[in-house]
Each structure stands twice: as C-alpha cells, then as structure tokens.
Amino acid sequence: MSTNLKPIKKNSRRKDVNTEPKFIERLIKISRVSKVTKGGKKLSFRAIVVLGDENGQVGVGVAKADDVVNAFKKAKTDGKKNLIKIPITKSLSIPHNVTGKFGACNIVMRPSIEGSGVIAGGAVRTVLEVAGIKNVIAKQLGSDNLLNNARAAIVALKNLTTKSQVSKKRDIILK
C-alpha cells in the first residue's frame, strides 16, 4: 500500500515578504484641539509627523483624530502620500544653497563640510535628519510655527537640483 502524498513545503510564503522601504517616523508635535459645538466642547488631537527613509525620501503628514494613537497613524499615512525624493551628495549634504518659503516661514539651507552635522533647529532639524542629510546648515526666518517650518523645509528640499538635471534643462533650451 503506497501513498502518493506530496511533502508540504514549510515557509512557502516566505518569499512574499514586503519589499516596501522601511520608513522612520518622527513626531514633531501633538496638540489638543477643541471645537465648540452646541452641546459643548469637542476635544480632538492633531499630530504632525515626518516620515523618511534616511536615503533621500521625506514627507510631512498632518492629521486629527479623537485620540493620540489614531491621529499619529493618520498623520503617518498622510506623510506617505506626500513623499518627495531629494538629491544627496557623497558627503551626505545638499548639492547647493537653497531657500524655501511657506506661509510666513522662510528657511535658508547651505551645504556644509563633512563632519559638521545638522546645524538647524526645531522641525527643520527633524526633516533633515529623517531625509538622511547629515551635514547642512539651516536657518529659520520669520514665523516659529512648527508645521509651517516643516513644510517650508520640504519646499526648500523640492527646489534642489543636480548637475545632470541642470545640464538637461540647458540642452533643451539650447536646441
């Protein structure tokens, strides 16, 4: 009496591992927000989160919810929707001087020599560290609003270009 049973593969689904990049999330601020309604005050929480892979991708997410955990989760998903890719030099700095403006906030960023670290404050420092930039000097001008400063830093990083991008633009203009 022979049985024709095939051996069952162990861990057959192991190859279906998520190849999604691992993001680092850093909380900038959680604030308690109240809305006055007819029945009284309705409390909720607003979370501001910065997401990045420390390899040139970064995004800022904002969300509100009735509790802190849900606000954080919603802000994370919002940050994933708003990811941008930025160029980083070999010395883990930015390619050139850049400015960013959002609302009343102005951010000035300058590349720095290797070993100087991130010289920036508040939300801008968090955005730069999560993006993977290790050597940069940044200054916040104008407002000290954390959300607007983070978004101004994102605007500044969006304005970064590489030499190859500039040469492609020049080739198109000259033709």
Are 40 and 68 within one domain? yes
75 and 124 both lie in a single domain: no
CATH number, domain containing residue 154: 3.30.230.10
Average pLDDT value over all residues in the chain: 88
Q: Quick one: tokens of 48?
A: 């501001």
**Starting at the edge strand that comes first in sequence, how are the strands of the sheet with 24-37 ordered?**
24-37, 40-52, 57-65, 84-85
Which residues constitute the domain of residue 72? 24-81
Query: Are residues 28 and 75 located together in one domain of the fold?
Result: yes
Query: pTM for this one?
Result: 0.82
Cα 29 to Cα 8: distance, rounded to the nearest angstrom: 50
* Mean pLDDT value across residues 26-31: 94
Residue 11 located in a structural domain: no
Please tell me whether residues 99 and 119 are part of one structural domain: yes
Domain count, the chain: 2
Report the CATH number at residue 63: 3.30.160.20
Residue 29 has pLDDT above 70, yes or no: yes
pLDDT tens figures, 131-158: 999 999 999 999 999 999 999 999 999 9
Tens digit of pLDDT for each residue in 45-96? Answer: 999 999 999 898 999 999 999 999 999 999 999 999 999 999 998 989 999 9
Q: Which single residue is written with the structure tokens 């109240």?
A: 34
